[in-house]
Each structure stands twice: as structure tokens, then as C-alpha cells.
């Protein structure tokens, strides 16, 4: 018989430490503190949006409604209905009143009230509030250290599907045809879906926030899927250029965006780019690179990155390839040997940053980081705490606004997670931190003392 293992003393201590840390934690107060510090004017920005409602019947301010939506996301409350039940606590009402600054707030708004409002609000309003939040973050010195080569803010563009329908759901649905076999015959079935293109900003290694969103909508039936995403990317990038004219940007994206039109937009805005290179996308560049490298014309460095792999680069491949846009190309590879199975992992990129032996390693890390962020970012939003694929409303305007509220909530949540003592001290998971925040929102009364503490100490605590 197996001997029952005695628990080590250190395990008990950790458990006790965990209990103590959780008992001490007042997540909702921390969230208020962070919001005051980073986005002091958020309630005001929300109330300044063009209000679509009939002003003579208004009970709730716009900041009441949107902040409730933000808390719904941060606390991982999945449906509008469960929000109504879970948030029906005196503490929630009192805290929302403090957060929104609406002294007349006596009850939590109904889910229907929020949806009615979001069906009418222009999504451009919430996008504008997000822009104000992002700008105030960029101005803080807290995030300067994560800029690429000490200068460029990394912006990653990436698209994903959001909602899927069997029937045509609205005028803007994208359509795809699936071929299925039924009783030996090929049947073509149409399916409808919605898709978004996101521009994400890397603020710190663990903080990657939504900077801008382009909803990809049906243009007409003969525009291909790639063109559709590429056209959306052009609209998104042009808007970024207008809204952030002086921001030093390094644009990153997968091979779909390693295309002349994207590079040209970057050149016009004086942006840098790092794009994934695939021979199938940029064939002539790939051939030219191989030709130069084969003749010994590439620079090499070994022992790079955490896998201690090999790096290689050639600057200005566009000259050999006869292309207009600057194409400095580099690649990275390493080998793994797991249980006798040898495998080579290879990555390749195109950039308009001049490559040197000094910057090669940082450039490789940046290129690979994009891949990691794309894979984690949307997956976290789909399967993690927000569940962005959940349909809070069938109305297509409200759908967009719900999506934007999730992106705004995610900005606050990521900052909260990176400061949270529960994450730092006891390594609590994101999901548990989010459910614990819900507990705190429902149970803790935020006092006047907390509020004066918040306004006195936030700056000192966070800088
Ligand atoms: Zn639709």
C-alpha cells in the first residue's frame, strides 16, 4: 500500500499565506485606484459622448451604463441576465455611484436599459473614448521601456471571426459557402458571420491593449476574403495615421500583410514594419534572399534567443529583387530533439529597419512576440474571462458597442492584473482573480476614507 504523503510545512504556510492575502484583498478598491490614476477623466469622457436617447426620459448617465458594462466584463459575468442578478447588491450600487460620479444613482440599470442604449449609441463614440484612454497611457512614462529599440511602439494587426449565424443576420454579414454531402449529392450551404480587425498596442510584455478596431463588413459578394481583410486593414491604418500622427510606430502582422500596399502606407506615415515572410506571399523576395544567402552574402549570428538558435539577415533584398519597398530580411531557426525526434523550427520576417548584429536578437524577439500575442490575445478573449463570442444582443449596432466595451474593460483589466497583489504574491490565475474581483464588488463597501486615500496615494503608489 502506498504511504500517505505528509504535507510539508511549506505547503501549509503557502495555503495560510494565500488565505491571508485573499482576506486582505479588496480588488474593487484597487480597480478604482487604478482608474483614478490612469483614467481620471473616464466618467467625464463617457458623459461627453453624443447621447442618442430622448433626454427627457433619462434615469442613468452614460457613465453609469458603460461603467456597468465594463465591470460586467472585468468580473467575467457572461450574460446580460446574470449581470442583472449578480450586480443587484447595495454595495454594487454604491460603488458604481462613486465610480460614475452620478450622485442620483439609486439602482443598478437593467440589462434591457443597457441594450436599448447600446443599440442607439454610435460605436465611434466608444472608439473615441478608447483613444483618449490609450493616449493618456502613452503619455505616462511607466511604459516607455517596452518600446522596440528604445523608440518604436509596436502595433500588431490581426483579424478574427466573432459571430457565426445559420441565417443572414444583418445587412453587414459576411458570407461564406460550405460544400456538404447530403444523400450522395453535393449541397452548397451559405453561412453568415462577423469579423473584426484589431490593432493592438504593446505597452509592456504582459499588457497588450486594443488601440483600434475595424469591423469587417460585407462589401459585395465577389470581393475575396483576403481582399476584404486587406481593405479593412487599409482603412484601419489610414485612421491610425490620422489619429496618431507623431507616434513612432512599428507595425507588425502576419504574411497576409507582407504586401506592397501595406509597406507603402508605412512609408507614407514614416512607420517601421516587421512582417512575417512566407515564400508563397513574396516569392521574388524569397528567391532573391536565398540566392544572396547561398552565395555567402548573409550575415549570421548564433546563440540567439532563449533557444540559443541561429539568426541570419540580408539588408535591402528589394534591390536584387527589383522591388520598390524596402525589404531587409531575416530569419531565425533552432532545433529541438524531443524523444529522438529532430525538428527544425524556422521563422522569417521582412522589415524596413536596418538590421545589424547588435539589433538582430531584439528584432527576432519582436517578430516572434507578435505570433505569441496573436495566439494568446484573441484566445484569451474568446475562452478566457470575457467570452467575446457570446452574443449579448442580436442588434448589429449593439454588438459593436458590446465588443468595444470589452476592449475598454480589457485595458483596465490588464493593468489591474499586472498590479494585483494576488497575482504577484500568490500567483492567482486570471480567472480566479476575475471571480474574486466580482466577490469584492458585491461585498466590499467603498468608504469615504478609501476614496480620500485613493486620491492622495495613487500617484505615489503607481509611478
Ligand atoms: Zn450580421
Task: Please indicate, yes or no, if residue 388 is contained in any of the structural domains.
Answer: no
Q: Output the CA 219–ligand 1 centroid distance in Å.
A: 13
Q: Output the CA 67–ligand 1 centroid distance in Å.
A: 26
Query: Do residues 346 and 438 both lie within one domain?
Result: no
Q: Output the CA 373–ligand 1 centroid distance in Å.
A: 28
Query: Do residues 402 and 321 both lie within one domain?
Result: no
Task: Please indicate, yes or no, if residue 339 is contained in any of the structural domains.
Answer: yes
How crowded is the C-beta side of 327, counted as CA atoms within 13 Å? Answer: 27
The answer to whether the beta carbons of residues 164 and 284 sit under 8 Å apart is no
Write the DSSP string, 232-293.
HHHHHHHHHHHHSTT--EEEEE-GGG-SHHHHHHHHHTT-EEEEE--TTTSHHHHHHHHHHH
Task: Please indicate, yes or no, if residue 28 is contained in any of the structural domains.
Answer: yes
Task: Please indicate, yes or no, if residue 267 is contained in any of the structural domains.
Answer: no
Query: Do residues 37 and 113 both lie within one domain?
Result: yes
Q: Output the CA 382–ligand 1 centroid distance in Å.
A: 19
Query: Do residues 33 and 111 both lie within one domain?
Result: yes
35 vs 37: CA distance, rounded Å: 5
The answer to whether the beta carbons of residues 266 and 350 sit under 8 Å apart is no
Query: Do residues 26 and 118 both lie within one domain?
Result: yes
Task: Please indicate, yes or no, if residue 328 is contained in any of the structural domains.
Answer: yes
Backbone angles phi, psi at 58, to 5 degrees: -85, 125
Domain boundary among 310, 332, 358: 358
- Rounded to 5 degrees, what angle do the CA atoms 302, 206, 437 make? 155
> Residue 461: what pLDDT?
47
Query: Do residues 117 and 28 both lie within one domain?
Result: yes
What contacts 427, CB < 8 A, 6 or more positions away? none
Query: Do residues 26 and 97 both lie within one domain?
Result: yes
Query: Do residues 26 and 119 both lie within one domain?
Result: yes
Query: Do residues 31 and 109 both lie within one domain?
Result: yes
Q: Output the CA 191–ligand 1 centroid distance in Å.
A: 11
Query: Do residues 351 and 405 both lie within one domain?
Result: no
Query: Near ion ligand 1, which residues have CB within 5 Å?
Result: 169-170, 173
Q: Output the CA 166–ligand 1 centroid distance in Å.
A: 11
Q: Output the CA 195–ligand 1 centroid distance in Å.
A: 10
Q: Output the CA 393–ligand 1 centroid distance in Å.
A: 11
Q: Output the CA 347–ligand 1 centroid distance in Å.
A: 37
> Residue 463: what pLDDT?
43
Which domain does 423 fall in, by range? 21-123+393-462
Query: Do residues 346 and 420 both lie within one domain?
Result: no
Task: Tell me the pLDDT of the chain (463 aa) as tens digits.
Answer: 444 555 555 566 677 877 887 777 788 998 998 888 889 999 999 999 999 998 888 999 999 999 999 999 999 998 999 999 999 999 999 999 999 999 999 999 999 999 999 999 999 999 999 999 999 999 888 888 889 999 999 999 988 888 888 888 888 888 888 888 888 888 888 888 888 999 999 988 778 899 999 998 877 766 676 778 889 999 999 999 999 999 999 999 999 999 999 999 999 999 999 999 988 888 999 999 999 999 999 999 999 988 999 999 999 999 999 999 999 999 999 999 888 899 999 999 999 999 999 999 999 999 988 766 666 666 667 667 777 777 888 898 999 999 999 999 999 999 898 888 778 777 888 888 999 999 999 999 887 777 777 666 555 444 4
Task: Please indicate, yes or no, if residue 305 is contained in any of the structural domains.
Answer: yes
Q: Output the CA 132–ligand 1 centroid distance in Å.
A: 29
Task: Please indicate, yes or no, if residue 426 is contained in any of the structural domains.
Answer: yes
Q: Output the CA 395–ligand 1 centroid distance in Å.
A: 8
Query: Do residues 331 and 424 both lie within one domain?
Result: no
The SS3 call for residue 325 is coil
> Residue 376: what pLDDT?
66
Q: What's the total number of domains in the chain?
A: 2
Domain boundary among 335, 358, 381: 358
Task: Please indicate, yes or no, if residue 179 is contained in any of the structural domains.
Answer: no
Amino acid at each position: 500500500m502506498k504511504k500517505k504523503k505528509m504535507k510539508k510545512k511549506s505547503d501549509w504556510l503557502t495555503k495560510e499565506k494565500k488565505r491571508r492575502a485573499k482576506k486582505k484583498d479588496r480588488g474593487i478598491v484597487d480597480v478604482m485606484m487604478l482608474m483614478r490614476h490612469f483614467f481620471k477623466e473616464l466618467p467625464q469622457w463617457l458623459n461627453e459622448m453624443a447621447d442618442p436617447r430622448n433626454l427627457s426620459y433619462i434615469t442613468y448617465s452614460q457613465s453609469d451604463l458603460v461603467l456597468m458594462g465594463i465591470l460586467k466584463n472585468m468580473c467575467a459575468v457572461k450574460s446580460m441576465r446574470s449581470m442583472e442578478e449578480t450586480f443587484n447588491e447595495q454595495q454594487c450600487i454604491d460603488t458604481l455611484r462613486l465610480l460614475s460620479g452620478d450622485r442620483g444613482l439609486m439602482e443598478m440599470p437593467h440589462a434591457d436599459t443597457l441594450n436599448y442604449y447600446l443599440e442607439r449609441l454610435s460605436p465611434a463614440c466608444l472608439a473615441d473614448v478608447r483613444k483618449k484612454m490609450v493616449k493618456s497611457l502613452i503619455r505616462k512614462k511607466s511604459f516607455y521601456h517596452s518600446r522596440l529599440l528604445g523608440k518604436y511602439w509596436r502595433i500588431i494587426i490581426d483579424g478574427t471571426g466573432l459571430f457565426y449565424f445559420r441565417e443572414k443576420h444583418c445587412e453587414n454579414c459576411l458570407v461564406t459557402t460550405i460544400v456538404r454531402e447530403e444523400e450522395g449529392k453535393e449541397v452548397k450551404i451559405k453561412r453568415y458571420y462577423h469579423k473584426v480587425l484589431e490593432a493592438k498596442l504593446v505597452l509592456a510584455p504582459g499588457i497588450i491593449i486594443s488601440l483600434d478596431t475595424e469591423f469587417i463588413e460585407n462589401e459585395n459578394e465577389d470581393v475575396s476574403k483576403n481582399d476584404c481583410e486587406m481593405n479593412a486593414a487599409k482603412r484601419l491604418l489610414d485612421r491610425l495615421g490620422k489619429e496618431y500622427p507623431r507616434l513612432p510606430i512599428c507595425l507588425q502582422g502576419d504574411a497576409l500583410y507582407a504586401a506592397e500596399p501595406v509597406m507603402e502606407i508605412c512609408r507614407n506615415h514614416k512607420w517601421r514594419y516587421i512582417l512575417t515572410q512566407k515564400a508563397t506571399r513574396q516569392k521574388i523576395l524569397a528567391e532573391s534572399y536565398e540566392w544572396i544567402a547561398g552565395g555567402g552574402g548573409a550575415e549570421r549570428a548564433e546563440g540567439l534567443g532563449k533557444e540559443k538558435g541561429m539568426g541570419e539577415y540580408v539588408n535591402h533584398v528589394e534591390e536584387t529583387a527589383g522591388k520598390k519597398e524596402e525589404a531587409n530580411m531575416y530569419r531565425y531557426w533552432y532545433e529541438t530533439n524531443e524523444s529522438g525526434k529532430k525538428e527544425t523550427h524556422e521563422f522569417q520576417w521582412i522589415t524596413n529597419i536596418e538590421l545589424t548584429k547588435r539589433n538582430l536578437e531584439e528584432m527576432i524577439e519582436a517578430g516572434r512576440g507578435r505570433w505569441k500575442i496573436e495566439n494568446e490575445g484573441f484566445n484569451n478573449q474568446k475562452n478566457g474571462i470575457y467570452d467575446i463570442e457570446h452574443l449579448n444582443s442580436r442588434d448589429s449596432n449593439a454588438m459593436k458597442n458590446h465588443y468595444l466595451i470589452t476592449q475598454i474593460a480589457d485595458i483596465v483589466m490588464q493593468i489591474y492584473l499586472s498590479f494585483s497583489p494576488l497575482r504577484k504574491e500568490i500567483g492567482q490565475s486570471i480567472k480566479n482573480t476575475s471571480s474574486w474581483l466580482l466577490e469584492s464588488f458585491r461585498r466590499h463597501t467603498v468608504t469615504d476614507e478609501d476614496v480620500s486615500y485613493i486620491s492622495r496615494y495613487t500617484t505615489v503608489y503607481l509611478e
